[in-house]
Structure 1
Amino acid sequence: MARNKGAKGQESRARLLAAAAEQFAGLGFYETKISSIVAQAGLTQPSFYLYFESKEAVFEELVGHFRSRLQELVTSSRLESGLQPGEVNARVLGVLETLFRFFTEDPHLTRIGLFQAPEAGSIKAELAALIRDNLLEEQRSGYFRSTLDMDVVAQCFVGTLERLTFAYLSEGPGRPEQLAAQVVELFMRGMLPEE
């Protein structure tokens, strides 16, 4: 039975999670071995079983952590009513920067949760639904045109987030802000030349 033990136990568990995330992200679930996780964490194989029942359990915990953190970020990102027109772009930019930063701060966890996990498709569907709900409320607040189908817009956002995260996952510091600025420019202003 998996369990937690004091501060040292929490540190060991955290090391196992970090090592597992790196191993799964690099090798995939099936090629990752518990022996390689514990070796990277600097622990023994019996210590693994103090905290996790199986390789599946640690993988599921990583996916669950990614999923819940992503849901928290998107749920808390809804724009409140009463913003001035100039504030909307800045707030959307901030939301996208936060999401891209989340994806790039822990690229191993992102690779697992967004791309490798069997439930990655449902995670992205949930993400699209949360974004759609936010957009519908923001549309009712008058921030976006009433003629836009916010389900389509949400799917476009998720596709953009997914592809740019995949393409620029390891680009280093500063990249989340640059990507977010480009996405805001595209979605909020379009591709037509300025008049």
Structure 2
Amino acid sequence: MIVILEKEVYQLKKRGRRVGADGEKSRQTLLEISATQFAIHGFYKTKISDIVKEANVTQPTFYLYFKSKEAVFQELVDIFKEKLYHLVAQSKLPADIAEEGLMERIAYGLCAVFELFQQNEEVARIGFVVSEEAVNIKEQMTAQLERNLKEEAELGYFHTNINFGVVAAAMVGAIEYLAITKLWTGTHTPEELAEEMTYLFLQGLKK
């Protein structure tokens, strides 16, 4: 389910619809169906006529909430980015974690990201894979993770002589690949993937 953010409610008010009434529900439905259509067919093959047919509304209703197909696509990408960047920023380790609780805390942060990908699969596919912004989104995520790791190293959690840019890029690549091949195929849960990634990056392959 796609959650309508405060800025979206503000847009509803600007367009003259009563927030909390059928207008908000229609907009939410259009967002969710658009996400599914874009994820399945891609941007160029998705048609507004197919979106409104699936939503059981008219094209004028669609244009009441969105200026164009590009506008609804961009909004979906923006929703995903905002949620993802927030989770990555929140995953930074605080200064008071005991050594025995370190792996659990890291796994908790990773699990939240995988849960975002699971609960918003269509939007995640758009933002992380399909859209032209996908590369930039992953670069921004990598940069935030690198900042997190450097600050965490300064707190004494990790070695300081590590190229954290490489580590962060490897983590983002692993998250993307595991989401596509394990999470979205239903073979692994967010918890399982988070635990495996945490163990690999902290303990490595050494016996």
Into which bin does the TM-score normalised by the smaller protein fall? over 0.9
Give me the CA root mean square deviation. 1.6
State the identity as a percent: 41
How does the TM-score come out when normalised to structure 2?
0.89
Alpha-carbon distance change, 73 to 58 in structure 1, aligned in 2, over 3 angstroms? same
Q: 2:17 aligns with which of 5, 11, 14?
A: 5
Q: Distance in 2 between matches of 1:21 and 1:107?
A: 9
1:160 aligns with 2:174: yes
Paired residues, number = 193
Q: Distance in 1 between matches of 2:130 and 2:177?
A: 14
Aligned with 1:29: secondary structure?
helix
Give the conservation status (yes or no) of the 8 Å contact 1:4–1:50: no
Task: In structure 1, give the amino acid aligned to 2:24.
Answer: Q
Paired residues for 1:88-107 under 5 Å? 88-107=102-121
1:181 aligns with 2:181: no
How does the TM-score come out when normalised to structure 1?
0.95
Q: 2:54 aligns with which of 16, 40, 51?
A: 40
Alpha-carbon distance change, 62 to 146 in structure 1, aligned in 2, over 3 angstroms? same
Q: CA deviation at 1:10?
A: 0.6
Q: Distance in 1 between matches of 2:119 and 2:64?
A: 28
**Other-structure match for 1:21:** 35
Unaligned segments of structure 2, at least 5 residues: 1-10
- Displacement over 2 Å in runs of 4+: 1-4, 168-174
Task: In structure 1, give the amino acid aligned to 2:75.
Answer: E
Q: CA deviation at 1:174?
A: 6.1
Alpha-carbon distance change, 142 to 121 in structure 1, aligned in 2, over 3 angstroms? same
Paired residues for 1:4-153 under 5 Å? 5-6=17-18, 7-153=21-167
Q: CA deviation at 1:171?
A: 3.5
Q: Distance in 2 between matches of 1:191 and 1:146?
A: 20
Unaligned segments of structure 1, at least 5 residues: none
1:3-30 per-residue CA deviation (whole Å, 9 max, x = no partner) reads 3612211100000000000000000000
Q: CA deviation at 1:119?
A: 0.8
Give the conservation status (yes or no) of the 8 Å contact 1:4–1:51: no
